Chain A
């Protein structure tokens, strides 16, 4: 456990010394929330209400954690620094936990900032707000695991393309964070609910509204995807560890 903590501490320093983390991790979701709230004043529909928008933005903001995790791993892999660590007593599980653990509190900070901005914009505070923040963690784990898998398999340019562009867009479009998925069609909605992103947004909305219909399914899908992706990333990382030529 000590080795994981030590390695996690190094990753915290790497992340916090990267301006990308500050911009996308803290500022971007808050700015987005402000902009969309301003737009919502002139737009119809429930989705732009602060109560529905905030969980959506909070979840969407977490998609950048795939980028952070993926870039951290792939940049390490591209240098001999990771080769040095491969030859050390660290195990594949130590690596994955060491990369994951520092990102979870950062994700929590991001969710807190997002909800704090929402409170300033009129979201009423209650215990549900805190529940919604805590229930962002499974989604955070999901996105981090996606990033770890990408970082274990791809180089930093590919990770930038996949996690920074493709995943954020897919996540935005397929999560229902901005618009009801029904608006596109039933087939699209069904397809989206085969992925975890819409479930992650619904989880936050359920926690915030107190309407727990389908809560268990949303939680199970998000956690299931996250667990499967973590196992896959450990396997991928182990493969790269032992087969690095």
Chain B
């Protein structure tokens, strides 16, 4: 089953076309990376798919629900971890998790249970009672991702999930994302070739708001005849920009 199918999706800001006739499909349970240079349209695409921005034209269906006609249904089945850490600074880690669980309709008991599960899974025991605003960037990022997971979304958007993390925290987070494989569809945006290769089943390369190429890292390397994924990416983006 297709988790996401976009059709001719467009969004402009003034004269700048951020998303340009985007046709994309992602299978259910897939980890799909959106890769591109700055301004390629990755974050705008995520914002449109998570109903934060209306497309100028086109549509997208998430698990069969249209983002244009039925955003309420879409919002029930998705969650996201935005690019900047998104926590309520004066609330404790537990309170943050509890809040999001309850907003997505969990009972108090369910929210408690899921909070405990995620505190364990993301090793947040030591900071669970501390105000989220007082935590280090790495911990805040983990809390932010835990908040995205607590609603058990069918589709999870991770916008540059490891941005600003040190190598150990990044590896730990990769391991955790890897453990989610198959349980939900994950769309992640990243600038890191290594991250895209390590985590994703398929990679979509965006340039100038258009999808320039899509496939596994190996397929993209074969297609461009390059030995490394980074070289393949550079060639695909350069072709896209000169087109």
- Is B86 a contact of A79 with CB atoms below 8 Å? yes
- Is B99 a contact of A10 with CB atoms below 8 Å? yes
- Is A89 a contact of B86 with CB atoms below 8 Å? no
- Taking the nearest CB of chain A, how far is it from the CB of B78, in angstroms? 7
- Is B100 a contact of A18 with CB atoms below 8 Å? no
| Cβ of A87 under 8 Å from chain B | yes
Within 8 A of B (CB), among A135-193: none
- Taking the nearest CB of chain B, how far is it from the CB of A81, in angstroms? 5
B52: chain A residues within 8 A (beta carbon): 83, 86-87, 241-242, 244
CA distance A6 to B80 in the complex (A): 19
User: Which of B101-109, B174-182, B202-210, B218-226 forms part of the interface with chain A?
Assistant: B101-109
- Taking the nearest CB of chain A, how far is it from the CB of B14, in angstroms? 10
Select from chain B the residue with minimum beta-carbon distance to A91: B72
A17: chain B residues within 8 A (beta carbon): 90
Select from chain B the residue with minimum beta-carbon distance to A245: B13
| Cβ of A39 under 8 Å from chain B | no
CA distance A10 to B98 in the complex (A): 10
CA distance A242 to B87 in the complex (A): 21
- Is A89 a contact of B82 with CB atoms below 8 Å? no
A41: chain B residues within 8 A (beta carbon): none
B75, B105, B144: which contacts A87 (Cβ < 8 A)?
B75
- Is A80 a contact of B85 with CB atoms below 8 Å? yes
- Is B54 a contact of A242 with CB atoms below 8 Å? yes
Most chain-A Cβ atoms within 10 A of its Cβ — which of B13, B85, B103? B103
- Is A81 a contact of B80 with CB atoms below 8 Å? no
B82: chain A residues within 8 A (beta carbon): 80, 83-84
| Cβ of A127 under 8 Å from chain B | no
| Cβ of B95 under 8 Å from chain A | yes
| Contact code string B14-39 (vs A, CB < 8 Å = 1, else 0) | 00000000000000000000000000
Select from chain B the residue with minimum beta-carbon distance to A241: B52
- Is B72 a contact of A89 with CB atoms below 8 Å? yes
Within 8 A of B (CB), among A198-245: 241-245
- Is A245 a contact of B53 with CB atoms below 8 Å? yes
B72: chain A residues within 8 A (beta carbon): 89
A90: chain B residues within 8 A (beta carbon): 103
- Is B75 a contact of A83 with CB atoms below 8 Å? no
Query: Residues of B at under 8 Å CB distance from A?
Result: 13, 47, 50-54, 72, 75-76, 78-91, 95, 99-100, 102-105, 144, 147-148, 151
Q: List 18 A-B contacts (CB under 8 A).
A: A2-B105, A3-B103, A10-B88, A14-B90, A14-B91, A18-B90, A81-B87, A81-B88, A84-B147, A84-B148, A85-B103, A87-B52, A87-B79, A87-B80, A88-B75, A242-B54, A243-B53, A244-B53
